[in-house]
Amino acid sequence: MTFTSSISVDTRDLSAADGLLILAGRALDKLKTGDVLEIVSDNASAQHDLPAWARLNAHRWLGTTSNDGRWRHRIEKGSALRVLTDRELDWGNRGPIKDGRFDTKHWLLGHAAQIRQTAEPSHGFAPRGASVEKGSPEFPFDVVDRNQAWSEGAAEFYEQATAGHWDGSRDIPWSQLRPLDEDLERAVCQLMTFLAENEFSALYVPAKWIARIHPHFAETVLFLATQVRDEARHIEVFVKRALANGGGLQFSSASTQASLKTLLDQEDFVQASFMLSVLGEGTFMDLLRYIETHAPDPATREIARRTRIDETRHVHFALDHIRSVLRSDSSCKAKLYRAIADRASVLSGMKGLNPLVEESLVILAAGGLSPERLPLGTKARIQLYETMHENRVRRLTAIGFADREAEELSQLHTPNFM
Ligand SMILES: [Fe+2]
Ligand SMILES: [Fe+2]
């Protein structure tokens, strides 16, 4: 009996145990149901193993012929799929690599480019674009809506973040630290303590949301992972600066802790991102610039400069994210407004900013406790608060709040800065 084979594969002396079945299986993968595969073999065991294997995989065994001392086995491909999914695999798309670079924003190829309105719970940890086997378990991610989780700019911000990572042990001029006037050193240490506790919230809040955002929105998750990495480095350098020059960590106030806890308590990703990054980290950019301007030593100056650059990225990512949320759902503006007002009422019973932090800002700008210079420090601190307010209003109007709303929201923002 003769057969027409769709393709033929030469398996030489391979047995079922050392590669024959891989070659046969891969060759069948390329065929359609009803096509015939010819397997040429020099191994006598194949005539026993192949028929059993074909039946097990729901292919039709067509028999064996032999000539020239070689066996020719034939299998007709059955309709059972090796992996049962709802679609074919992608193939043949090539990433646009330019000058040796493959930018993350260019990985939108084939099905990986299809951003769903709602992510599929059973797609779980499968990378977007993979063909997922039916029967995969459902994952409990609760940020599954494109409107909440997707942001056009995330891939670009992710790229900037990976290029911008620095090393807190080596990139700060630690060896240039010299003993400072004790009051000034104490002020620096108090500010570093305050910065570090705020940075812990900036690490924990995105870390909490990473675990809840569906991996379908990978760009957002990857960017937040870089933010967590950045905040870890910020905690590191602020704590190190408090310890490096003979001072030490100072006071943490109940009001600061209360303010930061309200960020962690948020149960809505967009609200959390708005509060932490647009309002909080936005305000921190001005605080870090102030510390950079008035820093009494090169290490403190470089710490403030580098962390401010990272914060700028976090703020711009959040502005891009919130802007795109508001574009797709205009009712969200009222929700954000309510969330800020609610937070303000929760915090209304607490004192303002930790007074030791406020004084430290004055002492830093005055360069110490000299009575001649303290008024200058006070003036600088007042100017800082005005700048923080103006810049918050500017950011809020840039993402679509009316002037009056922006003004009110900025006034409602926590006195703790973050
Ligand atoms: Fe930070
Ligand atoms: Fe940050």
**CA 311 to centroid of ligand 1, rounded, Å:** 6
Residues 68 and 185 placed together within one structural domain of the fold = no
Mean pLDDT, rounded, for 56-78: 95
CATH at 29: 3.30.110.40
pLDDT at 2 over 70: no
In a domain, 130, yes or no: no
126: left (phi over 0), alpha (psi -120 to 50) or beta: beta
Looking at residue 86, its amino acid is: D
**CA 146 to centroid of ligand 1, rounded, Å:** 27
Query: 383 is in which domain, residue-wise?
Result: 146-412
Instruction: Answer for the pair 354, 299: CB distance below 8 angstroms, yes or no.
Output: no
Q: What is the pLDDT of residues 172-181, one digit of tens each?
A: 999 999 999 9
In a domain, 91, yes or no: no
**Residue 230: what are its φ and ψ, rounded to 5°?**
-60, -45
How confident is the model at residue 68, as a pLDDT? Answer: 85
State how far the Cα of 382 lies from the Cα of 225, in Å rounded to an integer: 35
How confident is the model at residue 82, as a pLDDT? Answer: 83
Cα three-residue angle 403-332-338, rounded to 5 degrees? 70
Residues 150 and 54 placed together within one structural domain of the fold = no
Which among 30, 59, 76 is the end of a domain? Answer: 76
**CA 153 to centroid of ligand 2, rounded, Å:** 17
pLDDT at 184 over 60: yes
How confident is the model at residue 80, as a pLDDT? Answer: 87
pLDDT at 85 over 90: no
Which among 60, 76, 92 is the end of a domain? Answer: 76
**Residue 145: what are its φ and ψ, rounded to 5°?**
-90, 135
Mean pLDDT, rounded, for 349-372: 94
pLDDT at 1 over 60: no
How confident is the model at residue 330, as a pLDDT? Answer: 86
Which ligand sits nearest to residue 226's alpha carbon?
2
Nearest to 253 by CA among 360, 355, 385: 355
Q: What is the pLDDT of residues 284-325, one digit of tens each?
A: 999 999 999 999 999 999 999 999 999 999 999 999 999 999
Residues 57 and 175 placed together within one structural domain of the fold = no
CA distances from residue 256 to 19, 262, 352, 358 in whole angstroms, order as listed? 64, 10, 9, 12
**CA 232 to centroid of ligand 2, rounded, Å:** 10
Which ligand sits nearest to residue 206's alpha carbon?
2
Residues 51 and 152 placed together within one structural domain of the fold = no
How confident is the model at residue 4, as a pLDDT? Answer: 62
CATH at 236: 1.10.620.20
How confident is the model at residue 67, as a pLDDT? Answer: 84
Banded pLDDT at 203 (limits 50, 70, 90) = very high
**CA 274 to centroid of ligand 2, rounded, Å:** 12
Tokens of 306: 């580098």
Residues 290 and 396 placed together within one structural domain of the fold = yes
CA distances from residue 192 to 304, 380, 383 in whole angstroms, order as listed? 10, 19, 21
In a domain, 116, yes or no: no
How confident is the model at residue 5, as a pLDDT? Answer: 67
**CA 264 to centroid of ligand 1, rounded, Å:** 15
In a domain, 357, yes or no: yes
pLDDT at 146 over 70: yes
Q: What is the pLDDT of residues 232-260, one digit of tens each?
A: 999 999 999 999 999 999 999 999 999 99
Contacts of 65 (CB under 8 A, 6+ apart): 1, 71, 72
In a domain, 141, yes or no: no
Nearest to 57 by CA among 73, 33, 34, 81: 81
Which among 56, 76, 96 is the end of a domain? Answer: 76
In a domain, 129, yes or no: no
Q: How many structural domains compose the chain?
A: 2
Residues 163 and 63 placed together within one structural domain of the fold = no
Residues 51 and 153 placed together within one structural domain of the fold = no
Residues 65 and 185 placed together within one structural domain of the fold = no
Banded pLDDT at 388 (limits 50, 70, 90) = very high
Which ligand sits nearest to residue 168's alpha carbon?
1
How confident is the model at residue 386, as a pLDDT? Answer: 97
Which ligand sits nearest to residue 280's alpha carbon?
2
How confident is the model at residue 382, as a pLDDT? Answer: 97
In a domain, 89, yes or no: no
Q: What is the pLDDT of residues 255-281, one digit of tens each?
A: 999 999 999 999 999 999 999 999 999
β-strand 36-41 against 60-67: which pairing, if any?
A: unpaired
Residues 309 and 398 placed together within one structural domain of the fold = yes
Residues 225 and 305 placed together within one structural domain of the fold = yes
Which ligand sits nearest to residue 234's alpha carbon?
1
How confident is the model at residue 292, as a pLDDT? Answer: 98
Residues 157 and 43 placed together within one structural domain of the fold = no
Q: In this prediction, what percent of the chain has a pLDDT beyond 70?
A: 99
Instruction: Answer for the pair 182, 369: CB distance below 8 angstroms, yes or no.
Output: no
Among 148-152, 186-190, 382-386, 389-393, the least confident range: 148-152
**CA 180 to centroid of ligand 2, rounded, Å:** 29
Which ligand sits nearest to residue 307's alpha carbon?
1
Residue with tokens 């003979």: 246
Residues 205 and 328 placed together within one structural domain of the fold = yes
**CA 291 to centroid of ligand 2, rounded, Å:** 16
In a domain, 417, yes or no: no
β-pair partners for 154: none
Instruction: Answer for the pair 343, 275: CB distance below 8 angstroms, yes or no.
Output: yes
Q: What is the pLDDT of residues 122-142, one digit of tens each?
A: 999 999 999 999 999 999 999
